Structures are given as structure tokens and as C-alpha cells.
Amino acid sequence: MRSMLQCELGPLVLEHPLINASGTLDLLELAEAVGNHVLSDPPLAAYVPKTVTLEARAGNIPPRIAEQPAGMLNSVGLPNEGIHEFLHSKLPAFMALGLPLIVNVAGFQVEEYRTLAGRVAQEVTLLAGPPPAWRSRVALELNVSCPNVERGGMAFGCARDSLTRVICGAREAWPGFLIVKLTPNVTDIVEMATAAVDAGADALALVNTFKGLTLDPTSLRPLLGGVTGGLSGPAVKPLALRCVYEVHAALNVGAGRGVPLIGMGGVTEVQDVLDLLACGASVVAVGAGLFRDPWLAAKLAGGLAEELLARGVGLTDLVGCAH
């Protein structure tokens, strides 16, 4: 199965095209719960830890999560230990996993992305040697869906100029493979994708959660502590497919750039994986589904292998075939 499903995400070689979305699976916590065998044989082809910011964050006030008929809203607020603690207490363990690592970072000012990228690059180099030694093992993913405090709370990924500045700054500080995770909460996802690639992104992750709101049925006031939240789960799959399809058509079919896409949104079954690959994703990330089943990505990889055999096609034959 592994040779049949092996794929590449830039310089990263993956045993299969199933990874996790940032913030949906903590391998260290899972190891504490079920045993360290999870770390020696992770149920993923690449690991994306939860988003890390420059300073430690406690996150939003509760309630933080509200289940919906076909998904969930979350307003967790990026709680994390901050970049210093992450680099010293977690990064060494993540780099020892034996599979590619995609470090996800976010900032609230443009310059923070450059600082974060530089700090990660410096620490990875200390652990693994000069960049040529680790470019095939570690990538950086920019979460540009955070509120830009310099622009009154608008997410960086919602405006071409701020998105460009963020990526250019990170690109100068990061010598490895650079992924930009785009927000779908824009008028034209293709415009933002094009801007990201022009600014130096090597790959795009499509897409982050969709901004939504839910009310307390008794008080009829916003239920979540952060008022609005990000919608994920099966409800967003048609929207995510549209984003992946349009970006692949514009960048890889129309312009022939060959930009790898990581598709995500509502992945719970093998058919969801097939659909995202067909729309143009090279790699598929599982998100909310991992809260119910931490081994879902590995199970979907097995199901994908069976589908390839049944259809008599290779993995590369599926990518973009909807076009």
C-alpha cells in the first residue's frame, strides 16, 4: 500500500496523501493516553502541530465549541505555549517522529510572521544541521486567518497587500518549503491564492474554517465566548471543493504553475478524499473528523488504496481529474 500511495509535497516525501489539519490532533497527548507506540508509528503521513504564536496564549473564554447539525463551530482562540516553549519542549520530539513535520505559525502583526519563521529556522538548524539537511523533513505553514491588529481585526488573508507582506517577510526568514493556509472568507479565493504564490508561497492549504455564528436557544445571544467561530465538518465540504477546484484551475490548469495544494474541509470518508484529489489537491488534510477518531487519516489511506485498486488507476491519475 505504501508504494502505491507514496506522494510528494514539494521536497517532503509522504507515504500516503493523508495528513492532519493544524489543531485537530495532539500526538503527545495521544501518546500519554494510549502509549508511546503512537510516536513510533504515527497514524499520519505528515504531522502538523497546533498553531504556535510569538507569545503564549490562553485562548478565548468559554464556551469554545458548539456542535452543529453537520459540523461544529469553534472559537478556541489559538491557545498555545508560545514559540520559545514550543521550540524547546516540543519541536525536538516532533522532529524525532520519523515523518515530515509541518510547523504552523500565526501572528497578529506582519513582523511577527518574519520573527516566527526565523526562530523556527534557527532552532531546526541547531537540531538537524544546515538547511539542506532538513528541507525534506520540515516545512513551515502560515496561518493567515488571524485578526490583523494593525488593520482593525481584518484577517491577514482577506487583503492582498497584508497577505503579500506577511509571506514576503516569512519567505526572507525561512529557507525551506513554505505553505500558506488560506482563509475562505474572501470575495475571490483565486485572487488570494495568486497573491500568495507571487509573494513566495511554495504550496497552498485550502481552506481554513468558514466564519459562522450560533445563538444560545434560551437567551438568543451569541453562544460562543468569542461571539463568532470557525465552521468545520461535513457541512463545509462543497465549499472547500469549490475553492480547491477554482484555485487548481487558475494556477495549475490555466497558468500551468504546478503549485501543490493541500485540500481540507469535511473529510470523514474515502469519497471525500477522492473528491478533493479530483478537484486538484495533491494532499488531503483531515480536521474535525480526528476529534472522533484519531486514527481516521490512516484508515482513509487504507480505503484509498482499495479504491485505486478497484478503479485500476494510480494516485497521480486522480489529482485534478475533475478538470
Q: Locate the domains of the chain by residue range.
A: 2-318
| pLDDT of res. 3 | 81
Q: Is the pLDDT of residue 305 over 60?
A: yes
Which residues, in sequence order, are bridge partners of residue 67?
72
CA angle 81/183/294 to nearest 5° reads 55
State percent of the chain over pLDDT 70. 97
61/59 Cα distance (integer angstroms): 7
Per-chain mean pLDDT for the chain: 96
State percent of the chain over pLDDT 90. 95
CB 305 within 8 A of CB 284: no
Q: Is the pLDDT of residue 65 over 60?
A: yes
279 part of the active site:
no
Q: Is the pLDDT of residue 154 over 80?
A: no
Mean per-residue pLDDT for 88-114?
Answer: 97
Under the banding of pLDDT at 50, 70 and 90, the label for residue 153 is: low
Distances (CA, A) of 214 to 63, 73, 231, 287: 11, 8, 10, 20
**CB within 8 A of 45, min separation 6: which ones?**
14, 15, 16, 17, 18, 19, 99, 100, 283, 297, 301
Under the banding of pLDDT at 50, 70 and 90, the label for residue 255 is: confident
| pLDDT of res. 152 | 62
Q: Is the pLDDT of residue 1 over 60?
A: no
| pLDDT of res. 148 | 63
- Between the CA atoms of 301, 306, 308 and 312, what dihedral angle is there, to the nearest 10 degrees? 170
Mean per-residue pLDDT for 256-270?
Answer: 96
Residue type, 207: V
Q: How many residues does the chain have?
A: 323
Mean per-residue pLDDT for 186-203?
Answer: 98
Closest CA to 318 of 280, 264, 285, 268: 280
| pLDDT of res. 149 | 60
pLDDT digits (tens, 9 = 90+) for 16-61: 999 999 999 999 999 999 999 999 999 999 999 999 999 999 999 9
28/92 Cα distance (integer angstroms): 12
Residue type, 152: G
CATH number of 2-318: 3.20.20.70
| pLDDT of res. 256 | 87
Mean per-residue pLDDT for 169-184?
Answer: 98
Q: Is the pLDDT of residue 109 over 70?
A: yes
CA angle 26/184/259 to nearest 5° reads 80
| pLDDT of res. 310 | 97
Sign of CA dihedral 79, 81, 83, 87: negative
| pLDDT of res. 57 | 96
Q: Which one of 7, 146, 243, 279 is the catalytic residue?
A: 146
Under the banding of pLDDT at 50, 70 and 90, the label for residue 266 is: very high
147/154 Cα distance (integer angstroms): 5
